[in-house]
């Protein structure tokens, strides 16, 4: 639409008055790449529709539209929010759907009158925490459908006026208890996310909630049946859980500093010493042997470029961290497929009555679809391993956290699969298959390193996920809820890259995932409780006779 006369008149557009006598201009479906110059002389303009054009940016002159209240920018080519938008301080509604935004500018907090913002169908991989600023106190409706968001921040609790939150068709793996503090919320939509669990106080705290959409989320069966009965059914189910937890003293409330003035949030009661058993199954030792036999270089540089001593035993590093966290640690190396199953079965048959938790860490080859491959080349389904610790198979760990940390190097699978004891039939199949039982109190995190990824050495791959995870556990286990910590770990891992075998210039991104049915926050720390943890009593020690039999 090139031409010397670039104006509203040339486009055949005239400003008009709406029902409220506000001045409006409608420029949608005009194939615009820039705005008419005389538009900026309309100082009284309050409503501007720029939907379905080819705009990539907005000129600084747009700041002259200081009385603008409604701005439509949907279906354009914006890769970032133009800074000039943040100068339109009278904005009440901002429509930004169907663009390519990945973040919002910090200056968005200047829009103190903003009540409605639509960010659907963009490329947000993280929730835009800038919206949680106290400056946006008027924000009532937030649309984030069809992005790539995996979690919500605890800071969301500061969005006190929020009445509507749509976050359908994302990648939400878990929801924080902070969500329950949005007491004005009336409409919450979470459809088509890989959620397995919901915050246990959701129904009781969100007393104004009228619309709750959860369809196509693979919630565990108990929750699915409750949600099918509506908000009231969910409330009754969660009330039963809360009463049971109070009766058995399974939970306490801990003040989380720095979040909205120090809100108290429910946590698993971790009071035994030792906390429980932690098993490390390390099949990387067999891969290292294969590297030596194949004559591969044994450079010890880690994924972030630091040099490791050749003698360093990485498994002992993991053991050291787990011991500091208060666990009895057992290390098993080079287990064949059936041996992995047997080892975990024996663990599940032990008496965990005196313990609060169990950890299983597996480092091995594997395959997409949730499979671990032993040195014999036979695949074991991860769900078969986690099901060993279900309420039925391991009753002494019922209602206690069961944690699985997996780092898998993609490998070849033989046609034969290990024998299955139980096959879970789940009618809802998410993008990644369900890898944990249909029950509460499980957490599984995993990173699959694809075949095309390569590195200088096996130790560098080893450190790519588990190394980052355990470094952060050692540093932040006392300060951060485990799921918040895992979100931080996964964000760090996604920033790193491995080289691709296909091309020296190509880099492979690893995208770890979380599957969880944890009902409460979990802190894997030893020592005295932090301020605000409640009066749950001191730590409960395992009797010496029992402890001696559990030590490896």
- Tens of pLDDT, residue by residue over 288-329, are 555 554 544 333 333 343 334 433 467 888 899 999 999 999
Least confident residue range of 241-245, 342-346, 399-403, 454-458: 454-458
In the prediction, which pLDDT does 249 show?
83
| Of the listed ranges 159-163, 499-503, 510-514, the one predicted with least confidence | 499-503
212-236: per-residue pLDDT in tens?
A: 999 999 999 999 999 999 999 999 9
CA distance 249 to 452: 49
Tens of pLDDT along 45-99?
A: 999 999 999 999 999 999 999 999 999 999 999 999 999 999 999 999 999 999 9
Fold of the domain spanning 16-217: 3.80.10
The domain 272-550 having CATH identifier 3.40.1280.10: the answer here is no
Q: What percent of the chain has pLDDT over 70?
A: 80
C-alpha–C-alpha distance, residues 331 and 278, integer Å: 9
Domain-by-domain residue ranges, the chain? 16-217, 272-550
Q: Closest by alpha carbon to 450, among 411, 502, 420, 491?
A: 411
- Tell me the C-alpha to C-alpha distance, in Å, between residue 96 and each of 66, 72, 74, 82, 528: 19, 7, 5, 11, 48
Peptide bond into 481 cis (omega under 30): no
pLDDT, the chain, mean? 84
Q: Which residue did the predictor score with more confidence, 463 or 12?
A: 12
Instruction: Report the C-alpha gap between 288 and 301 in whole angstroms.
Output: 14
CB 413 within 8 A of CB 425: no
List, edge to edge, every strand of the sheet that includes 498-500. Answer: 453-454, 498-500, 507-508
């Amino acid at each position: 639409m090139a031409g010397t006369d670039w104006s509203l008149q040339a486009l055949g557009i005239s400003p008009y008055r709406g029902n409220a006598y506000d001045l409006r201009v409608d420029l949608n479906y005009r194939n615009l790449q820039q705005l008419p110059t005389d538009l900026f002389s309309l100082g009284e303009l309050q409503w501007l529709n720029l939907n379905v054009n080819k705009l990539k940016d907005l000129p600084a002159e747009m700041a002259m539209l200081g009385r603008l209240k409604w701005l439509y920018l949907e279906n354009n080519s914006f890769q970032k929010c133009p800074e000039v938008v943040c100068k339109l301080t009278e904005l009440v509604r901002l429509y930004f759907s169907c663009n390519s935004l990945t973040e919002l500018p910090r200056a968005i907090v200047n829009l103190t009158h903003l009540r409605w913002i639509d960010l659907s169908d963009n490329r947000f991989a993280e929730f835009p925490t800038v919206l949680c600023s106290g400056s946006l106190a008027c924000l009532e409706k937030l649309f984030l459908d069809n992005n790539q968001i995996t979690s919500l921040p605890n800071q969301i609790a500061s969005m006190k006026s929020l009445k509507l939150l749509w976050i359908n068709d994302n990648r939400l793996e878990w929801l924080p208890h902070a969500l329950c503090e949005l007491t004005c919320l009336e409409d919450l939509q979470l459809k088509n996310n890989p959620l397995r669990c919901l915050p246990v106080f959701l129904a009781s705290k969100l007393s104004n909630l009228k619309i709750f959409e959860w369809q196509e989320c693979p919630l565990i069966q108990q929750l699915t049946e409750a949600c099918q009965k509506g908000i009231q059914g969910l409330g009754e189910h969660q009330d039963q859980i809360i009463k049971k937890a109070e009766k058995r003293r399974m939970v306490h409330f801990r003040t989380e500093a720095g979040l909205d003035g120090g809100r108290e949030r429910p946590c698993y009661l971790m009071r035994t010493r030792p906390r429980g058993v932690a098993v490390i199954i390390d099949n990387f030792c067999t891969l290292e042997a294969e590297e030596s036999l194949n004559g591969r270089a044994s450079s010890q540089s880690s994924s972030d470029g630091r040099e490791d001593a050749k003698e360093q035993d990485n498994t002992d590093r993991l053991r050291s961290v787990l011991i500091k966290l208060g666990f009895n640690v057992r290390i098993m190396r080079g287990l064949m497929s059936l041996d992995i199953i047997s080892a975990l079965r024996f663990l599940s048959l032990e008496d965990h009555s005196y313990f609060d938790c169990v950890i299983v860490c597996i480092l091995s080859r594997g395959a997409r679809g949730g499979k671990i491959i032993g040195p014999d080349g036979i695949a074991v389904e991860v769900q078969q391993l986690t099901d060993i610790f279900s309420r039925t198979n391991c009753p002494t760990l019922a209602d206690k956290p069961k944690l699985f940390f997996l780092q898998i190097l993609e490998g070849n699978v033989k046609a034969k699969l290990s024998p299955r004891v139980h096959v879970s039939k789940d009618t809802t199949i998410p993008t990644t298959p369900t890898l944990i039982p249909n029950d509460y109190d499980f957490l599984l995190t995993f990173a699959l390193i694809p075949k095309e990824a390569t590195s200088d050495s096996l130790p560098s791959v080893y450190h790519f996920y588990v190394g980052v995870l355990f470094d952060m556990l050692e540093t932040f286990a006392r300060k951060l809820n485990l799921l918040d910590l895992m979100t931080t770990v996964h964000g760090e891992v996604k920033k790193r890259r491995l080289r691709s075998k296909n091309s020296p210039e190509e880099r492979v991104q690893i995208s770890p995932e979380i599957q969880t049915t944890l009902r409460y926050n979990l802190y894997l720390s030893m020592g005295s409780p932090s301020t605000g943890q409640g009066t749950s009593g001191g730590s409960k020690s395992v009797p010496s006779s029992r402890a001696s039999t559990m030590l490896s």
